[in-house]
Chains A and B, each alone.
Chain A
Amino acid sequence: MTSAASTIPHLRFAGVRKSYGGTSAVAGLSLDANAGEIFGLIGPDGAGKTTAMRIACALLLPDAGTVAMLGHDVVTSPQSVKRHVGYMPQRFSLYGDLTVAENIRFFADMYDVPSAQRREQEERLMQFSRLAPFRGRRAAQLSGGMKQKLALSCTLIHTPEVLILDEPTTGVDPLSRQEFWAILKQLAADGHALLVSTPYMDEAELCDRVALMHHGQALAAGTPGEIKAGFTRRLLEITGQDALTALRRLTQKRNELAVSVNRFGDRIHIVYDEDRQRENVLSLLRGLDMSARHVEPDIEDVFVERMEREERTA
């Protein structure tokens, strides 16, 4: 990497907007993803993640704003997109009748990868995806996790600097997910820039930086640690034998107390702002076999806080 290149982010969104009819899908998104970094777009269905990714791949034109790939505007120089980007859409089309190796060769041909280079890259991909024992198996016969690894391998055949992966782990079991994320970490360590979307909050922790997406906007952006540090409320966890009674009392009084009450299995989380509210909650639980402790928020707690704040100001 030259010093000149390192000052330009691999992928830059600047004020990107896109509407479908009257519905705003992406409402002013700006972010940078650098070499060696996994940037996560975290958010539910309909948050604008896919639209943002399709704009970055020059498959959709933005209404406003720009996306630059290694400094090249994707609208004015679409060829740079093809050369520098590997895009794995949510439903990646593998050819079910072709074997693992044939699928990889097909994508190599689509991207005009010279055959010597293709053979070398194919070996590397087989190694790191651990698909080598299955190279003669037809894609239709692979498990869900293996299909995702093959799709990723096809995306990487032309050695793109930037990888854009749309919900690559949705519907994949936890073991395969862990393996898939280990591969993504390795790709980042090798110097790729990765933009990865996921609806699942726990995957935010695996990214270097994330944007919490809602209604086409980033509610918050930064490292997972920075995002959690931005939680402005306080969190009390209540557990014990009398959880159901406690929950009943708390939900009855939640408006009066001006706190949020959430049940997670046998744990109750209270989100509050002031000492006085905590005292009120604790006095409500007097006589019950319950204990309370302060806990740190996770990404989902922050997401919920920001969504509620957004709705109050809307």
Chain B
Amino acid sequence: MSESSAASDGCAVRATQLTRRFGDFTAVDGVDFAVSTGEVFGFLGANGAGKTTVIRMLCGLLAPSAGEARVAGFSVNRQPDAVKRHIGYMSQKFSLYGDLTVGENLQLYGGVYGLKRHDAEDRGRELLSRLDLEQAADRLPTALPLGFRQRLALGCAVLHRPRILFLDEPTGGVDPVARRKFWDLIYELADGGATVFVTTHYMDEAEYCGRVSIMDRGRIVALDTPDELKKQNGARTMQDVFLKVIRP
């Protein structure tokens, strides 16, 4: 089902035999997968499995040694700068400016992404309201709870309306209410047509994704919906799936 839609031109990310070597070490070993537009795609794996290397290639930050990947319709091999303009990236250690207010942080990122002043202001206002940050607009991020800072980091990552959003362990350390709020925003973005690519070590979050891939030693060893993966592996939870497909 997902294969056919992924194979069409409507796919947001497609990796074909994507490979990266560092000297004699093959970090990513001929990986094939496709992510459809509007999907929430979970990208899991053991420590050192090659996840970060794949993400760096998909973001146009690292050239593949072999194979290809297309992101938002651009080749990471030949058009890495176009790729960078069409993606958003948020890591667990998000970079917010502590001396700038919440509103100013959004304006700054508007400038970084080359938005016109008016557009940046309109978009900033829109995001403050959507992210439930209006009452915090004039405060410094350092004075706000982690959940607020996380939502602001998400706002900065989507200011330029990227078609694909990469989230690297986005909810680490926040309370469960803030975490649910954050996932509501992720679904809202996906329902609006954005493709969301999420990495996490926490298997309950894997359950929230439409499809999940699991990497082990440079290869993708499982890829399907959480329900299918559980069925295929006779597992009750994604945690059990993970432990079954990863070789100790």
Contacts and interface: CB of A to CB of B under 8 A. Distances in A.
Interface of A: 43-47, 143-145, 170-178, 199-202, 214, 244, 262-266, 300, 303-304, 307-308
Given A44-B146, A300-B176, 12 more contacts: A44-B178, A46-B145, A143-B48, A174-B243, A174-B246, A175-B242, A177-B201, A265-B209, A303-B175, A307-B176, A307-B177, A308-B177
B243 A172 contact: no
A299 to B, nearest CB: 9
Interface in B35-50: 40, 45-49
Give the secondary structure class of A's interface. mixed
Nearest to A251: B184
B187 interface: yes
A288 to B, nearest CB: 17
A64 to B, nearest CB: 25
A45 B46 contact: no
Interface in B185-201: 187, 191, 201
B172 A199 contact: yes
B239 interface: yes
Given A174-B239, A263-B184, A265-B209, A44 B174 contact: yes
Interface in B203-217: 203-204, 207-210
B173 interface: yes
B248 interface: yes
A176 B178 CA distance: 27
A15 B49 CA distance: 45
Interface of B: 40, 45-49, 145-146, 172-178, 180, 183-184, 187, 191, 201-204, 207-210, 225-227, 239, 242-243, 246, 248
Nearest to A174: B242
Contacts of A177: 201
B55 to A, nearest CB: 16
B242 to A, nearest CB: 5
A144 B209 CA distance: 25
B202 A265 contact: no
A304 B176 contact: yes
A47 B174 CA distance: 10
Nearest to B225: A266
7 contacts: A143-B48, A176-B46, A200-B202, A201-B176, A202-B203, A263-B183, A263-B208
Nearest to B237: A202
Contact of A46 (B146, B209, B239, B243): B146
B210 A171 contact: no
Given A45-B173, A244-B191, A263-B187, A202 B239 contact: yes
Contact of A143 (B47, B176, B180, B239): B47
Contacts of B203: 174, 202
A174 B242 CA distance: 7
B61 to A, nearest CB: 21
Nearest to A213: B175
A265 B175 contact: no
Contacts of B201: 171-174, 177
B104 to A, nearest CB: 24
B48 A303 contact: no
Nearest to B239: A174
Nearest to A308: B177
B182 to A, nearest CB: 12
Contact of A264 (B48, B208, B243): B208
B146 to A, nearest CB: 5
A124 to B, nearest CB: 22
A200 B172 CA distance: 9
A200 B204 CA distance: 10
A313 to B, nearest CB: 15
Nearest to A311: B177
B175 A173 contact: no
A216 to B, nearest CB: 13
A267 to B, nearest CB: 8
Contacts of B175: 43-44, 47, 214, 303, 307
B5 to A, nearest CB: 16
A304 B176 CA distance: 6
A175 B210 contact: no
B184 A144 contact: no
Contacts of B239: 174, 178, 202
